[in-house]
A and B are shown apart, each in its own frame.
Chain A
């Protein structure tokens, strides 16, 4: 989502050095976490709905819930997470150097990050895409009508490049209004400094929800980029990558099978669905294959509910952000959430 050349270079250098230090390490990430008794999870310094501290200082959000589920699976307690705040500049170095065990900071899965920076993406927890928001008074109903518009855009991000590509391929011109943060963008947009605000659709929805008059603003139907956001870990410890990946899968599978935080105790006494039994640890011993106990997935689901419940409490339609499931529905509902079988 956000990457500058500078950061990329820095992170690449960091990743190389990180590999060297990781190799000299020896102890697996899982052992380190168990010895430490705490999962170091990198989150953003604040993205509405995804990670933010509440007034008691507890971190809440969609990305935070992934950290908590992994902590519950590994350490047995969703509270045993140390949230390390990272910025767009520091996130990759923090992960490569081992300062954090995993990064859950709405980071877009791209080829270069996966391959060149030497990270392993553990899946996608949110399929996002770049969209446009305009004032209704502008009388625009499609992004194709935005020729000549002034656009508020965060500088140095991939959204800036996507925007340029989109306008160029549609033979349109625009005037960029560079801004630094989302809060600044809200002020500029509301003050009329730009006709259009463009960022990820989830961010647009969250921003729109904060307006005094949300009904006067619309998010245009066009989504001009793919932004699959997900948690990631460093190369070098496949067991640890598997744990994060399958914790995510367990949350998705739980929703598909209808396991919720409300009925999980009941269901974990044993059911006649063998896959559910394997997931909840009453049958087989999947956890032992990557160094955990049988009830790892049960604890991960109990931490914040299944994928659907996490979505609903943090960013779903009942929250102020009010995102529809859309692409993030289960594959059975026409979405892209598809957990491989637990077998």
Chain B
């Protein structure tokens, strides 16, 4: 092949042209704007309308934030500082943030819920992310008892002996493992009997012998986001396993199990959450023997958990229904028993399919915790009412709700992002 530079035909170039920048309209921000914002008459109009909306919103809300007052001890003081300007009075958040977060929890003990919250993140880490060392799971296992002790206080032995119940259940199961059915029933019954009858006396005796404990704080001093998180997180953590069991029960061949599960799910789903909360708050008082002090927060947690579990069961049943029959048959062909087949083959796939639905239920549950305001528990919404009842802050409205909305958004948005991360990580379909 001849070298072009050696070619001396006049009309053939001997050198390459230097590369030129693309036209301004075909590259960089201009191209991006043209293709994304003004690519046609319809999009151009939509963009202009959108821009006007943003301008209008910023024009109206911007000054409200920009001129907001943080250093004031009452609404009247805010108004004096603002002198007629219409702007936010965030002094109420500065004055009452601790109540919105902790309710009436004693200020000198704020470290306890804070520590419990931090430890909760540590305990959740190995469950949420694979890269965290597996040994941390042991901490996750003891976290519920630890958190209970940190929040409610009192003697540590109650939590320790309470955890012992699980150990007893496991030991009973191992001892009777030859007979599967008997072992399962005993592993559930024995710990329950232990908690009902032995937990109190044993922990009482131990705390007298070796008093280790912190100040006891009753749950009527709980409030604010602390209560939302306690109810929400406990409900979320417990509703998933219970929901799985209910979903399996509903598909079970054992008629009794099946009908119990169907009855439970349909009953709970057929009743509004607020009704269950009223039951927890009002009716249980009459069913229990007089003088029984059954913690109201625990009652609410139980009701919320049952409610969420019923919804969760149906979400997971959706996942189970989406699995092809071949997966079940494959598990049978491998000679796996029922539990192994579900643990190793069915559930991992069914749960993966259900992730969006599960997270949906979690987010709904977390937001539903605000319903406890109707039974007189001071969650953030209830506290906003109580704060307004103080003469200093009566008349304040958007600032409190804005703060509460922001906190809820942070929690719900994190859950949503995590579920997307999980979906991407587990994506095995062949697209």
Contacts and interface: CB of A to CB of B under 8 A. Distances in A.
Contact of B282 (A24, A93, A186): A93
A53 B391 contact: no
B282 A52 contact: no
Interface centre among A21, A47, A85, A86 (most CB of B within 10 A): A85
B409 interface: no
Instruction: Give chain A's interface residue range (CB within 8 Å of chain B).
Output: 35 or more
Contacts of A187: 397
B382 interface: yes
A171 interface: no
Contacts of B281: 90
A84 interface: yes
B285 A97 contact: yes
Contacts of A49: 391
B255 interface: no
Give the dominant DSSP class at A's interface: mixed
B150 interface: no
B376 A45 contact: yes
A18 B286 contact: yes
A89 B385 contact: no
B290 A48 contact: no
A45 B385 contact: yes
Interface stretch (A155-163, A205-213, A219-227, A251-259): A205-213
12 contacts: A10-B282, A18-B286, A21-B290, A45-B376, A48-B391, A52-B386, A52-B390, A85-B378, A85-B382, A93-B285, A98-B285, A186-B395
Given A21-B286, A45-B386, A319 B391 contact: yes
A17 interface: yes
A206 B376 contact: no
Contacts of A86: 376
B119 interface: no
A267 B378 CA distance: 42
Given A25-B290, A210-B395, A89 B374 contact: yes
A153 to B, nearest CB: 19
Contacts of B79: 212
Contact of A210 (B382, B385, B394): B394
A190 to B, nearest CB: 9
Interface in B373-402: 373-378, 382, 385-391, 394-395, 397
A317 to B, nearest CB: 13
Contact of A87 (B99, B218, B374, B391): B374
A72 interface: no
A306 interface: no
Contacts of B286: 14, 17-18, 21, 97
B220 interface: yes
Interface string A295-323: 00000000000000000000000011100
A175 interface: no
Q: Pick the most buried of A10, A50, A181, A320: most chain B CB atoms within 10 A of its CB.
A: A320
Contacts of A53: 99, 104, 386-387, 390
Interface string A48-64: 11111111010011000
A228 interface: no
Contact of B75 (A210, A319, A321): A210
Contact of B386 (A17, A46, A319, A320): A46
Nearest to A20: B286
B96 interface: yes
Cβ-closest 10 pairs across A and B: A210-B395, A46-B389, A52-B389, A46-B386, A97-B285, A57-B104, A210-B394, A17-B286, A85-B376, A93-B282
Contacts of A82: 218, 220
A319 B74 CA distance: 13
A99 interface: yes
B112 to A, nearest CB: 16
A186 B96 CA distance: 21
B220 A55 contact: no
A137 interface: no
B245 interface: no
| Most chain A CB inside 10 Å of its own CB: which residue of B96, B291, B376, B390 | B376
B95 interface: yes
A183 interface: yes
Interface in B238-284: 278, 281-282
Contact of A209 (B104, B282, B378, B391): B391
Given A14-B286, A24-B290, A55-B95, A181 B385 contact: yes
Contact of A211 (B218, B374, B389, B395): B395
B404 interface: no
Interface of A: 10, 14, 17-18, 21-22, 24-25, 44-55, 57, 60-61, 82, 84-87, 89-90, 93-94, 97-99, 181, 183, 186-187, 206-207, 209-212, 319-321
Contact of B389 (A17, A48, A87, A319): A48
A320 B394 CA distance: 10
A290 B316 CA distance: 62
A46 B391 contact: no
B76 interface: yes
A84 to B, nearest CB: 7
Contacts of A93: 282, 285
Nearest to B290: A21
A181 B400 CA distance: 15
Nearest to B287: A17
Find the residue from A55, A181, A212 having the highest chain B CB count within 10 A: A55
A213 to B, nearest CB: 10
A99 B220 CA distance: 12
Contacts of A94: 282, 376
Nearest to A85: B376
A22 B145 CA distance: 35
Contacts of B388: 46, 48, 183
Given A57-B99, A85-B386, 8 more contacts: A48-B389, A48-B391, A84-B220, A87-B374, A93-B285, A183-B385, A207-B395, A209-B394
Contact of B375 (A14, A90, A320): A90
Contacts of B378: 45, 85
Contacts of B395: 186, 207, 210-211
Nearest to A182: B388
A309 B290 CA distance: 38
Contact of A48 (B104, B282, B390, B397): B390
A94 B285 CA distance: 9
A97 to B, nearest CB: 4
Contacts of A97: 282, 285-286
A47 B386 CA distance: 7
Interface string B158-171: 00000000000000
A77 to B, nearest CB: 18
Contacts of B389: 44-48, 50-52, 61
A320 B391 contact: yes
B391 A89 contact: no
Contacts of A57: 99, 104
Nearest to B94: A55
